[in-house]
Structure 1
Amino acid sequence: MSSTPITLRPRAEGLAAPLPPLLAEASQLARGVALGEHGRRRPGVGDAFWQYRAAQPGDPARLIDWRRSARSDTHFVAEKEWQAAQSVVFWVNRAQSMQFSSDRNLPTKADRAALLSLAACVLLVSAGERVGLTDMGLRPMRGEMQLGRIADHLTAARGEDYGVPDTNILPRYSRAVFVSDFLTDPAPVEAALATAADRGVKGVLLQVLDPAEEAFPYDGRTVFHSVGGTVEYETRKAGELRERYLARLARRKEQLAAMAELTGWRYHTHHTGDSAASALLWLHTALEGRR
């Protein structure tokens, strides 16, 4: 099953519809959410009162709250909380390796990754958040037009065999979602998470796998080749590879989980044979910071 911008958007909205509006809550942002604007619990420009503090040398007289100061021998400044809409940025692996499906009745990994990512964006935008893709070349934005841009971008073909996380657009203190099979070299993922940590970005690693990649149901003579055709391996005893393959897959999952834990991210595996709604619900709770 392949996607086009016309078909992907309605399916994503249909998947998102049963869930409550998603309010992306970053741990570095303070409580209080109004119309998609989140206080960062730091003094700055905003409408919401944060706290009174004693006036300090150099504070302009216009900042003094004279009503509060009249009740004390000390002058007080009424600080406002710096507010900004939360940005949630997605990296969605759309390389050739993600075009794999072991059964014609199953979506490709790329199709499921695109559907889940756009459905999450629909929920975020409905909550007033800014969303974007790391490789769109545009800063995260709100609104219906942005959802259309994202749908167009998610259905564009990519030529490379394997994809690596893109951190070109990753605003400081934003949230991020990396969606991929994560079956290639984990070093670029580790580097991307280090970059995110340096920018105060927390987020989610969502691993999308085909059921056959989890079970390795192959036996006898088998030819394995990459979707892009650049790698090929033939064996007459595929069944003898199963134990080693499953062990390596388990180690890869452990690596991803450890990297996520180290950087304060969340990690989850989703299979294309499972309900897309359940994966979106997990993503919903992960972005909200609930465990």
Structure 2
Amino acid sequence: MVAPGAHGLRRNGPGEDFWQYRPASQGDSARAIDWRRSARSDAQYVRDREAQSAQVVGLWVSSGQGMDYAGAASRPTKADRAHLLALALAMVLLRGGEKVGLLGQPARAGRAQADRLAEQIVALRPAGADGDAPPDDALRPNQRLVILSDFMDDPAWADRLLTRAAGMGVTGVLMQVLDPDEETFPYHGAVLFRSLSGAIRHDSRDAGGLRDAYLARLAERRDWLRSRTTGAGWHFGHHSTDQSPAVALSWLYQVLAG
């Protein structure tokens, strides 16, 4: 589980976690003395605590038209699942006192921000193209970012984002959200493949014959993303819309707490 609202600044100050013992000095009250530690020496010691600060978390959910895909009416679209994950994560972080906002928007804490984020996420609409990318100028030093996308378009933008983030001390996580049909490629015979925008079309007479090449390409894409995120000090994960969203949320909590 994530531990929101308690992130050490590696210096003494208000907080709950032990930081260091230091010799008592003029101005320290008798109440501040750690008498158990002091009894082991001839000096008196004060137990300092580590100063803590809330995280500043930026959320970005792809609005590319490709995110509006669902392979079956019984499953949510990738966009719907990504919106749910973003909103649920925001609520948990805000409840713990973190500052959260959509990337490029002010990150704030509190109940009012929860309502504001819910309205903003619900209002997100598909872009004009199959894929999109976060704005290059939206990163701020020492942010934590959560990027939700299918990463099925040209991934060059992810490489640019990670390079820029590494130079600014920005860390975070990329999560790939896919429909199970995109995970397994369960197609046979004659199939017309078309992107949701209509910009890409491929008429196959033997879709099953493409399966191995497609799955190899998907694995290659994930290996590339995992390598780039690891190199930048980020995390990479993937989630299928036929799985419980709680699984993805649990993973996001853990990596943000790390």
The interval holding the TM-score normalised by the smaller chain is: 0.7 to 0.9
Q: Provide, for residues 3-41 of structure 1, a one-character-per-residue CA deviation record: whole Å limited to 9, x for no partner.
A: xxxxxxxxxxxxxxxxx6x324xxxxxxxxxxx253312
The CA deviation at 1:263 is: 1.1
Q: In 1, are the aligned partners of 2:171 and 2:233 still within 8 Å (CA)?
A: yes
1:252 equivalenced with 2:221 (yes/no): yes
The CA deviation at 1:125 is: 0.6
1:23 equivalenced with 2:21 (yes/no): no
Q: Bigger shift: 252-261 or 146-155?
A: 146-155
Match of 1:266 in 2: 235
Q: In 1, are the aligned partners of 2:143 and 2:170 still within 8 Å (CA)?
A: yes
Query: Which whole-Å CA distance do the structure 2 matches of 1:240 and 1:180 have between them?
Result: 27
Q: In 2, are the aligned partners of 1:130 and 1:140 still within 8 Å (CA)?
A: yes
Query: Which whole-Å CA distance do the structure 2 matches of 1:109 and 1:166 have between them?
Result: 21
Q: Bigger shift: 109-118 or 199-208?
A: 199-208
Counting aligned pairs with the same residue, the percent is 42
Query: Which whole-Å CA distance do the structure 2 matches of 1:52 and 1:139 have between them?
Result: 38
The CA deviation at 1:82 is: 5.8
Unpaired runs of 5+ residues, structure 2, are: 29-47
- Aligned 1:78-227 pairs, distance under 5 A: 83-135=52-104, 138-155=105-122, 156-161=124-129, 162-227=131-196
Structure 1 letter corresponding to 2:217: R
Q: In 1, are the aligned partners of 2:68 and 2:126 still within 8 Å (CA)?
A: no
Structure 1 letter corresponding to 2:90: C
The CA deviation at 1:260 is: 1.2
Query: Which whole-Å CA distance do the structure 1 matches of 2:246 and 2:20 have between them?
Result: 41
Structure 1 letter corresponding to 2:127: G
Q: Provide, for residues 80-119 of structure 1, a one-character-per-residue CA deviation record: whole Å limited to 9, x for no partner.
A: 9664321111111122110000000000000000101110
RMSD (Å), alpha carbons: 2.5
Structure 2 letter corresponding to 1:153: Q
Q: Bigger shift: 141-150 or 106-115?
A: 141-150
Q: In 2, are the aligned partners of 1:47 and 1:80 still within 8 Å (CA)?
A: yes
Q: In 1, are the aligned partners of 2:58 and 2:107 still within 8 Å (CA)?
A: yes
What is the TM-score of this pair, normalised by structure 1? 0.74
The CA deviation at 1:53 is: 9.0
Query: Which whole-Å CA distance do the structure 1 matches of 2:56 and 2:67 have between them?
Result: 26
Match of 2:244 in 1: 275
The CA deviation at 1:159 is: 2.2
Query: Which whole-Å CA distance do the structure 2 matches of 1:82 and 1:171 have between them?
Result: 22
Q: In 1, are the aligned partners of 2:61 and 2:147 still within 8 Å (CA)?
A: yes
Q: In 2, are the aligned partners of 1:96 and 1:227 still within 8 Å (CA)?
A: yes
SS of 1:165's partner is: coil
Q: In 1, are the aligned partners of 2:172 and 2:256 still within 8 Å (CA)?
A: yes
Query: Which whole-Å CA distance do the structure 1 matches of 2:206 and 2:166 have between them?
Result: 44
Query: Which whole-Å CA distance do the structure 2 matches of 1:153 and 1:219 have between them?
Result: 40
What is the TM-score of this pair, normalised by structure 2? 0.82
Match of 2:42 in 1: none
Match of 1:238 in 2: 207
SS of 1:66's partner is: coil
Match of 1:33 in 2: none
Query: Which whole-Å CA distance do the structure 2 matches of 1:93 and 1:112 have between them?
Result: 11
Match of 1:31 in 2: none
The CA deviation at 1:52 is: 8.8
Unpaired runs of 5+ residues, structure 1, are: 1-19, 25-35, 55-64, 69-78
Query: Which whole-Å CA distance do the structure 2 matches of 1:167 and 1:23 have between them?
Result: 29
Query: Which whole-Å CA distance do the structure 1 matches of 2:204 and 2:238 have between them?
Result: 28
